[in-house]
Structure 1
Amino acid sequence: MNTSTTASKSSDIPGFVDRIVRPLTHLFNPLILRIAGGRWFPMFSLLHHRGHKSGRIYATPVTGFPRGGFFWLGLAFGQNSGWARNVLAAGDAYLRYRGSDYHLVEATVVATAEVADELPRVVRLGAAAFSMPRGIGPHLASALAGGGMNLVLTGRSGSELEAVAADQRKHGARVLTVVADLLDDDARTLLIGAAQREFGGVDVLVNNAGGDPLRQFEEMSIEENESIIKLNLFAPIALSHLVLPGMLERGRGHIVNISAMAGRVGFPYTEAYAAAKDGLIGFSRVLRTDYRARGVSSSVLILGAIAGAGQGQRTMDQMRMPKSSFMAPVGLVAKALLKAIDKDKAEIVVQPGPGRMLRAVMDFYPGLGPWMNNQMGVNRTLREIQDFRKSQTPAGR
C-alpha cells in the first residue's frame, strides 16, 4: 500500500538530556524491536529504511500514527536523527504498523503546531500534571510518557516522587517533581506555577490523588470527614480552576478525574469518600459541557476494585488475602486514561464485566449494590480490612 508520510517534529530535547537519553535508546531498542510493529503494540511501529551513505537496510522502532491518509512519525531527537535523514534522502521507507506493512513515500517534516488537529490528543498535548505518587499513579505516568508527554508529578513523599520520575526519565521523558500537600491552597498554586514555568503550561491534568481510611462514620470526627471530601473532591476542583485559564488561552486542554464506583455500589464505611467521588463525576460532566466547545474537555474514569496497585491491594497483601476475580488489573486503568484523552471519552468505567451497564442498573435499583456486596462477601471482607487497619493504628489516633 502506497501512502504519504509526514513526520511531526516534537519539542527539542535539552542538550544535557539528549546526551543521557540517546545512549539509553541504544540500550532499550533491542527490546522494543521484538514488539514493534506487532498487532497489540500500536505505540511502536517498525520502520525499515536504507542508509543514505552505506546503502544498508536498517530497522528502527518509531512512534507513528495513521491519520487522514498519512502516517505521522514523531521525531523525538529532531530531523537530524539517523532514520529521519535516511528517509528524507531516500524518499521512501517501509513501515510495519499493528501487523500490517505500508510503503511510505514523499516524507516531509512539519512542526507539531501546524498539524495539531491531525494528531491524536495524547501526542499533541505536551505537558501533563499529575497528583499521584502512589497507587496507580506510576502506571498512569508510564502510559502518558510512552505517548511522548512531559510530566509534572506531585505528592507528599519526595523520595517516592523521585523514584517514579527516575523510571520515566530512563525512557526519555522530561519530568518535574513537586512535593506538595494538595489540601493546602498555596501548595496547589505553587504546583501549577512550577509546571507553567517548566513547560509553558499544563495541557493535561490528571486528578488522581485520593483515599479513604475505611472507618465507621460515627467513629470519625467531622474534621476527618471534611479532609476526605477536600482531598477527593475539592482539590481536583481547585486544580482544575488553576489550569483552566491557560488551557482556554491556548484553545486546548484535557482534565481527567479519577473517580470510583463507591457511591453507586454502596460500599460500607465509605460515606464521605463515596459522596466525594460521586461529586467528582458530576463536576466532570458539567465542566465538559461548559468548555468542550472552547477546546478544553473533561473525562472521568470510574474505577472498581483495582488489582496490582493502590491502598486496597497493599492492605490485601498485608493481610495475605487472595486476589479477587472482581478486581480489574491496573493496566486497564492506564489504557482507559489514554483512551479518554485520545478518543475524548466522557466517562469510562474500569471493572470486570459490563461495568457501565452495571452502574446504570444500580442507579435504577439503589438497593442492588448493597445486596450484591452482602451476597459476594464484600461486606465481610471490608469489615476484616477495617479491623486490620484499626489494629495497625497507634492508640490515641
Structure 2
Amino acid sequence: MRQTWRWFGPHDKVNLADARQAGAEGIVTALHHVPTGETWRPEEIASRQREVAFHPDGSITHLKWEVVESLPVSEAIKTQTGAWRAHLVHYRRSLENLAQAGISVVCYNFMPVLDWTRTDLAWRVAHGGTAMRFDLVDFAAFDIHILRRKGAAEDFPEAVVAEAARRFRAMVDDRRNQLAANVTAGLPGAQEHWSLDGLSVHLATYSGIGPQKLRSHLVDFLAEVAPTAERLGLRLCCHPDDPPFPLLGLPRIMSGLDDYRHVLEAVDLPANGATLCTGSLGARPDNDLPDMVRKLAPRIHFVHLRNVKRDTDEVPCSFHEAEHLAGDTDMVAVVAALLEEERRRREEGRSDARIPMRPDHGQDILDDLKRGAQPGYPAIGRLKGLAELRGVMAAFSHPEIGL
C-alpha cells in the first residue's frame, strides 16, 4: 500500500518535514478554507500543491498532494433543500479542476450535520498518553441535558439515561462547556464549529428524513457526480459514519457492509468506491473488517488504518482510540486481505494496484503531549502507528513468507 499522511495545511503543528521523516510517501489534504458548496478553483488547488511540494524555506519536500480528504458534501445536498442543485454543479466543477491538477482520489462522507463525534479529545490511557474517546453516557448527558433535544432520552437505554443525569449533576460548568465543545468540534481542519443553537437549527432540517430517504439522497448525489468522476479517471470513496450508529436523532446510512453494497450497486461505476476506515467501522462488533475488505475489495479506493477498543459489544457503545495493533480489530488480518487485493489488481494490470493508505489518528505520546496538534493527529503517535503497519506489510511482502 502507498503510505500517505494527512496534513491540514501550513498552520498544522505537524509539518511536512515531520511527515517525511515519519516515512510518508504522499500527502492527504484539502482546501479547508473554501466554504462547503463552493467550487475549488484551479488557482487554489495549485497553491495547495505548491505548499505540499516546498518547505517554507523553498527546499523541496519530495511529497505530493495525492488524495483529497475531504471534498465536503453540503448539508443542502444531503437534505435536497435550498441551493443543492447549484452545489452539485460546484462539486462537479471541483472534480474537473482536481483531475486537471493530476489528483485522482477524492474522499467524502455523507454524515448528517456532525462529520465525526467524540466526547473527549484527550482521554488519559494506561501508559500516560492520551486518545480520543466516545463515551455513550457523556454523550447522553450532552444530548439530554446540555443540548436538550426533544425526545433525546428515548434514544438511550434507561440505565444510560439515569447515569447521564448523575454525571451531568456532578459536572462543573467548565466540564459541561468542554463536553459541548468536543461534541460540536466539526470536521477536522474545517472552520466549522457549531453553537448549540446552530446545531439545533441544523438538526431540525432533518425532520422527516429517515435512513431510507437519506440513502436515496446519497444515491442521487452519486448518480450526478460519479459519471463525471468516471469520465475524468477519478476515484470517489465514501468514508463510513463515525461512529457507525445513529446520534442526535439523525440517520446513519454508511455503517456496515450492506450499506456499502447498496450504494456501490445503485451506481455501479468503478469510480464509485469506498474509503475503508477500520476505526470507524470497528466501533461496531458486527462489522467483520477482514471480511469487508474481501467483499468490497475491487471498489476500495482509499484506506484508513486505525483501531478502537470498545467498552462493550453493545450497539451503540463507548470506545476509545487504541494503538494501531492493540484494539478490537484484527489489523494484521485486515492488512493481509488488502495486500491480497493489491496482488489481484497487479495481475489484472490495474493502474490503481497500489492502494493509498494512511495511519489514521494516533495516541498522543512523548512530545505530542506538549505540541497541541489537531486532535487525533499527533506526530509521534501516527509515526508509531505507521511503523507498526509498515512492519506488518514488510512481513507479508517478504519472499519467504509473503503474499
TM-score, normalized by the shorter chain, greater than 0.5? no
Structure with bigger helix share is 1
Greater RCO, CA 8 A, separation 6+: 2
Task: Give the structure-1-normalised TM-score.
Answer: 0.32
Task: Give the structure-2-normalised TM-score.
Answer: 0.32
Structure with max Cα Rg:
1
Structure with bigger strand share is 1
